A and B are shown apart, each in its own frame.
Chain A
Amino acid sequence: MAFDAQAERNFKVVGTRVTRPDGIDKVTGKAAYGADVSAPGMLHGRILRSPHAHARIVSIDTSAAKALTGVKAVVTGTDLAQPEDEAFADVAINCLARDKVLYDGHAVAAVAATSKAIAKQAIRLIKVNYEKLPHVTDVDEAMKPDAPVVQEGRALETVPAGMSQNVTTHCQFGHGDLEAGFAKADKIIERSFKTAATHQGYIEPQACMASLGSDGRGEVWCCTQGQYMVRANCAAALGVEESQLRITASEIGGGFGGKTSTFIEPVALALSRKAGKPVKIVMTRDEVLKATGPTISTSMDIKIGMTKDGRITAARGELRYSGGAYPNATVDMGAQAAFAAYDLEAVETVGWNAMTNRPKEIPYRAPGAPTAIYAVESVVDELCQELGLDPLDVRLMNAARKGTRSSYGPTFNEIGLVATLEAAKAHPHYTAPLGPNQGRGLSCGFWFNFGGNTCVSLNINDDGTIGVVEGNPDIGGSRASISMMAAEELGVPYDKVRTVIADTSSLGFNDITDGSRVTFAVGLATIEAARAAIKEMCRRVAKIWDIDEEAVIWEDGCAKPAGPNAGTHPPMTLAEIAAIAGKTGGPIAGHHEVNADGAGVSFGVHLCDTEVDRETGAVKILRYTVFQDAGKAVHPDYVEGQMQGGAVQGIGWALNEEYIYGEDGRLQNAGFLDYRVPVASDLPPIETVILEIPNPGHPYGVRGVGETPIVPPLAAVSNAVSRAAGVRMTELPMSPPRLLKAMTG
C-alpha cells in the first residue's frame, strides 16, 4: 500500500503522546502475564535438564519419580511427535531431547505434580544414564574438520564438501571488482573480531498454562511474541490439528526476539494430556539463560580500503557465526546488513554458520546485524583515525542513499541515512569537549524491517465506539499505536477506540511480533480495515440520502455530501450512522488481510562518549545520543523508548554481557548476578533525535523502529573506548579484565 499522496497531511492523533490503553493494569499490578494465571485442579510442571554439554542418552528411568505421591505425569522425548518438517522437528527435539543432549541445559524429561515442591523433588528422582561425548562451544573450533560433530547431516547444499559437519550455512553477497578496489586504496586495514553470545534478557521468564484433552482439543495461555507460531509448533510437536488448539497470548514481560519460539508449551501440553489436568510451567532464570535465547557468538574478519580523502574503495567481510546446536540463517542477515550503510563499488560478504554445543539461537533484536556492523564500523573508525579524517564526514561521503545499489543487492528507495548523519553532525554532542581518558565513538546502524502476514478486524460499535481486533502481542505499546491509527483514519478521538489482541481461534493468521513489523504492518492493515468500514458507512449514508455512493465523502469523522451537486444534507457522524446500522443493513465492520511488503529499511546513528579507568579497566558511559529515522513516529514516546532501550541493550552487549563456558562445556554464569545487564546507575540519560523520512510503503510513512537501535551501540561504544584507551578493541564484551589487559599489554 503506497504512501498517501497527501504527504503534508495534518495528523490529529498520530504523532501525539496519548496514554496507553493497557497502562493502568500495568502500574497497579493487575496485568496478567504468563505466570499470573491459575486454573482449578492445576498441576505444576518442572523440567529436568542435561548437566552435560554433549551426551548420548542411554536410558531414562522415571519409575521413582512416577511413584512419588503427588506426581501425576512424567514425559520424555518419546512423548512428543517427530514432525517431518525440520524446523518443527528442531523445536520438538529442543523441547525434549530424544537420543542426544546437545548442550548444558537441554531438556530431557518433565513431571507434573500437585505442588511446585513435589515437582522439584520428582525431577531429582529421574535417573538418566548418559554417555558423554566430546563437545565444542567455540565457533572457530567448531569449523575445524576434526571438531566434535554436534549434529550430522544438517549442512545445506551451499556448503562446500570437506568442511566440518558442523558448518550448516554458507552465503555470499556483494558486487564489483574487489581486487581493483583494494588497488585504488591509500590505506587498507584488515582486522579480526570476536563477540560473545548475549541473551535477550527479558525480565519475565517463559511461562505457560496448558490443557489438552484426549480428544486433541487444547488451550494454552502463555507469554509469547506470536500465538499462531506457538499453535503451529505445539500442533506439530503433539501431533494434533491446529484448529483444535486455542492459544491466548498473555501480557508479555519483554521478548526482544527471545519469545519467537517455544520451549515449554509442548511439554506442558504433553503433561496435561497424560494427567488429564491443566499444567503450568514457569521457567527459572537459570533455565532461561541455559536453555532459551541466546543470540549468536561470532568470529569475523573485515578488510576495508580507503583513499586518503576518505572514500571507501573496496570492502570485504567474512562472518563465522554460531547459533548453537541447530542450523539457523542468522548469518545471512548479518552478511546482508554488514555494509548496508555504504555506497560501495566493490563489496563482498561471506557468511558461515557452525553448530556448537550451546542452546539453540533465538532471534535477538535485528538478529545478525549488530555484530557484523560492529566489526565493519570498527574498521571504518580505525581508518579515519589512521588517515586523520572526521568519522562523520567519512560516513557522509560514503553513505548509501536513494538509488544506491545496496551491498546485499536491492537498490534503496527513500532512506534516511544522510539526514540522520547530518542531524548527528549538527548536534551539540558531536562537538562537545572531551577530557583525559575520554573518547567519542560513533556508528551507523541498519535494519531491514519486515511486513508479513497480518489480519485486522475493525468493528463499529452501536454507540459509535470502535473495536480493533489484531493478532500480535503488544511488546512495547503497539495497542496504543494501532488505536491511534484507527482513530486518525476514522476521524474519531483516540479514546473511542479499544484495540485487543485476539487468541488464535478469534482471528486469522498473523506472523509473530518480529522484524519491527507490528506498527508498520498491523497499522497498515488497521488503516485499510478502517477504510473498508468508511466505505460501508458512506454506502449506508448514500442510501439514506438517496444519492450515489460516490457522492458521499468521509471527513473529520462524518459522512458529508461530496459537493453542491450531492445536495445539502447535514453531515452524519460516525456515532449517528452506527446507531441506526441495524436499520440500514446490519452491523458495520471493516477487515483487512495482507502479506505486507514495503516495510522500508531503517537507519540510525549513535554517538557515545566514554571514560576509561586505567587502573581497573572499567568503562563509564558519559553521554549517549541516538538519531534514528522512524518514517513517521506514531507515538513518539514509544519510538524514543525503543531507541533508548535498544541502545542500552547494545551498551550491555558491548561492555559486560557474555555467555561464559568452562572447559567442560557448561555455562558458568546462568544468573543475573554474573550475566550482568545494565542497571540504572551504569547509565547517563539516553538522548534521542527522531527523524521522519516517510516510508513510501506505508500510508502514513511509518517504518519499523524496534530493532535498528540495538545495531550501532556495539561499535559506537567500542570506538569510544578504543579512542579513550588508545588501543583498538576487537573483542566484545569489553569487560574490565579484557580492557585492562588490552591497555597494559
Chain B
Amino acid sequence: MKTIPVETTINGDSAEFLCHADESLLDVLRDRLGLTGAKEGCGTGDCGACSVMLNGRVVCSCLVLGVEAQGAEVETIEGMANGEELHPLQRIFLEEAALQCGVCTPGILVAAKALLEKNPDPTDTELRYWLAGNLCRCTGYDKIIKAVQTAAAEMRSA
C-alpha cells in the first residue's frame, strides 16, 4: 500500500509525515512521530485514553485517520506543559493524587482542559458527564473530579 504525505501542526509546531490511508491518527502519533503520551486502551473509541485535540475538539485519536490531520491543528498531552512549568491541571493532579497507574491520565487531562476552556466553572455533574468518555479503572473518579474543580477554581482566579 502506498503512503500519503500529510502536513499538519502538532502542539504548535509544523509536522510532516507519511502514512497509509487506513492508519489511525493514534498510530501515526505513537509509531511514526514518537508521541506515545496518547494510549490505546480499546481502539474503538470507548475508553478515551487516546484523547487529543483536533482543531479545538476532543477526539479519540484511534477513531481519526492520520490523513485527516492534513492542514489541522493537533494538540496532545506532550504539548500541555510549558517547558518545565506544568499546566495547573497537571500540577493539581499530582498534588491531589488524582492518578494511580496514570495510563488514563493523559486522555483525562486533555479532555478536562478542553472542558475548562469552554466552561471555566462546570458543576460536578457537568464535569462527570464531560469525562464519561474517559475510563479510569483505578481511582473511582473521585479525586479526578476534585482535582479538576481545584484547577478550575485556580484558573478562574488567575
Contacts and interface: CB of A to CB of B under 8 A. Distances in A.
Interface stretch (A248-256, A378-386, A491-499, A734-742): A248-256
A20 B142 contact: no
Interface string A308-323: 0000000000000000
B141 A26 contact: no
B141 A22 contact: no
Contact of B132 (A38, A200, A640, A681): A681
Given A26-B105, A683-B141, A32 B36 contact: yes
Contact of B37 (A24, A29, A116, A637): A29
A648 B143 CA distance: 13
B46 A673 contact: yes
A29 B94 contact: no
Contact of B40 (A32, A200, A205, A681): A205
A28 B135 contact: no
Contacts of A31: 102
Nearest to B102: A26
B64 interface: no
Given A27-B94, A27-B99, A28-B80, A476 B44 contact: no
A281 B36 CA distance: 16
A116 B32 CA distance: 13
B152 interface: no
A645 B138 contact: yes
Given A29-B35, A204-B39, A672-B46, A251 B102 contact: yes
A685 B102 CA distance: 20
A672 B48 CA distance: 11
Q: Which of B35, B44, B127, B139 has the most CB of A within 10 A?
A: B139
Contacts of A504: none
Interface in A670-708: 671-673, 677-683, 685-686
B158 interface: no
B77 interface: yes
Contact of A476 (B35, B41, B128, B138): B138
A204 B42 CA distance: 9
A107 to B, nearest CB: 19
B105 A27 contact: yes
A638 B78 contact: no
A15 interface: no
Contacts of A203: 39, 41, 47, 49, 101, 103-104, 135-137
A568 interface: no
A644 B137 contact: no
B97 A680 contact: no
Nearest to A200: B137
Contacts of B102: 22, 26-27, 31, 251, 253
B143 A641 contact: yes
Contacts of A26: 99, 102, 105
A672 B36 contact: no
Chain B, interface SS category:
loop
B78 A28 contact: yes
Secondary structure call for the A interface: loop
Contacts of A116: 27, 31
B67 interface: no
A644 B97 contact: no
B100 interface: yes
A397 interface: no
Nearest to A636: B97
Q: Which interface class (under 10, 10 to 19, 20 to 34, 35 or more) fits A? A: 35 or more
Nearest to B100: A476
B136 A644 contact: no
Contacts of B137: 200-203, 254, 256, 645, 649, 677
A672 B139 contact: no
Contacts of A255: 101
B95 interface: yes
Contacts of B95: 19
Interface in A22-77: 22-24, 26-33, 35-36, 38
A477 B100 contact: yes
Given A205-B41, A647-B140, A27 B93 contact: yes
A29 B101 contact: no
A36 B103 CA distance: 11
Contacts of A205: 40-41
Interface string B101-138: 11111100100000000000000110111011111111
Contacts of B96: 637
A117 B2 CA distance: 13
Given A28-B78, A202-B101, A680-B134, 16 more contacts: A23-B93, A27-B93, A28-B80, A28-B90, A29-B37, A33-B103, A38-B31, A117-B20, A203-B135, A251-B103, A254-B100, A476-B138, A638-B97, A644-B140, A649-B140, A672-B41
Interface of B: 1, 20, 22, 27, 30-31, 35-44, 46-47, 49, 76-78, 80-81, 86, 90-91, 93-97, 99-106, 109, 124-125, 127-129, 131-146
27 contacts: A26-B99, A27-B109, A28-B37, A28-B78, A28-B80, A31-B102, A35-B39, A116-B27, A116-B31, A200-B137, A202-B103, A203-B136, A204-B39, A253-B41, A253-B101, A253-B103, A254-B101, A256-B137, A641-B100, A648-B139, A671-B46, A672-B46, A679-B135, A680-B131, A680-B144, A681-B125, A686-B140
